[in-house]
Homo-oligomer: A and B are copies of this chain.
């Protein structure tokens, strides 16, 4: 993602970095170190960029946009901290996660702290609508994660269930980012809806591409082992597409029957990697990307619109 051209909002993104750095500047060295590590670990800043781009369709309040852009990145970071704890992940973006260094209580509280700080940044916008949107998004994300966790990980997951899951996990926050930009820009009601839908479709395409890269990417580019999702029991679209096409494959039958042994999973990861299921999943991602671009059809032809159109292609075609 580092190669996508965000030059239109580059200066603003630097100001967002400053806001994030401010949050990390607490008078408590241990915590400051943890926050720096989390907030300066080279995330793609895709979500803040989305806020800033969506705000540009109108004559927006600059300070408000920066606060909201920092807030969405903070909220995203908070969810990552808790996700990594829940999944017992040891690596994130090639760096050790907090769980490798700190006991779980610290990790829980750091995530909570970031939720609070995200809400504080969002509140700086002085917008009731934004406060509601943020709160609803937190509830949607957690609700989705809880359902995934409590429902168990099943090989017979349908595409519909998968789409619901990635909406909650990823696309809901993308939708919130572009809608938040619209709110900051005081966009007209129909523009706000279009921008929200753009963000949602972009997020769906982004997450499907992420899930494909988990199979076909290189360990080096991913910063974690290939096939991590499946190894952790999370069934994503490539695996679902493979099952759709190969219901009678003996290993698929074993997996559907509940066999989650390392040897079965490793072979299945290789099979999915090399199969046409990857193209099936890319077709689905391109479909969401196409819808995202259509959502922008009625918006004015400004530079920010072109960047958002390019971004919709990029999230699918990227290699990392």
A contacts, CB < 8 Å to B: 26, 28, 30-31, 82, 85-87, 104-106, 108-113, 115-117, 119-120, 122-124, 126-128, 131-132, 134-143, 145-147, 149-150
Q: Which 8 A-B pairs have the closest CB atoms?
A: A116-B138, A119-B135, A116-B139, A86-B105, A113-B142, A131-B131, A120-B135, A123-B132
For the complex formed, measure the closest distance between the CB of A120 and the CB atoms of chain B, giving whole angstroms: 4
A109-B86, A149-B106, A150-B106 known; A139 and B123 CB under 8 Å? no
| A-B residue pairs in contact (CB < 8 Å), sample of 21 | A28-B150, A82-B108, A85-B105, A85-B108, A86-B104, A86-B109, A104-B104, A105-B149, A106-B149, A108-B108, A112-B142, A113-B142, A113-B143, A115-B138, A116-B140, A117-B135, A119-B135, A122-B131, A123-B128, A128-B128, A128-B131
User: How many subunits of this chain does the assembly comprise?
Assistant: 2
Query: Is A138 a contact of B122 with CB atoms below 8 Å?
Result: no
Docked CA distance A38–B313 (Å): 45
Docked CA distance A128–B126 (Å): 6
Please tell me which one of the listed residues B28, B111, B124, B128 contacts residue A147 in the complex, with CB atoms under 8 A apart: B28
Query: Is B110 a contact of A146 with CB atoms below 8 Å?
Result: yes
Docked CA distance A112–B80 (Å): 13
Docked CA distance A87–B117 (Å): 23
Query: Is A119 a contact of B134 with CB atoms below 8 Å?
Result: yes
Which residues of the partner chain B approach A28 to less than 8 Å between Cβ atoms? 143, 146-147, 150
Chain A contact surface mostly: helix
Which residues of the partner chain B approach A137 to less than 8 Å between Cβ atoms? 116
Q: Which of A30, A123, A131 has the most CB of B within 10 A?
A: A131
A116-B139, A131-B131 known; A150 and B30 CB under 8 Å? yes
Please tell me which one of the listed residues B106, B113, B135, B138 contacts residue A112 in the complex, with CB atoms under 8 A apart: B138
Residue of B nearest to A112 (CB): B142
Docked CA distance A150–B103 (Å): 10
Docked CA distance A85–B107 (Å): 12
Which residues of the partner chain B approach A138 to less than 8 Å between Cβ atoms? 112, 115-116, 119
For the complex formed, measure the closest distance between the CB of A100 and the CB atoms of chain B, giving whole angstroms: 16
Query: Is A82 a contact of B112 with CB atoms below 8 Å?
Result: yes
Please tell me which one of the listed residues B109, B141, B143, B145 contacts residue A146 in the complex, with CB atoms under 8 A apart: B109
Please tell me which one of the listed residues B112, B116, B149 contacts residue A109 in the complex, with CB atoms under 8 A apart: B149
For the complex formed, measure the closest distance between the CB of A74 and the CB atoms of chain B, giving whole angstroms: 11
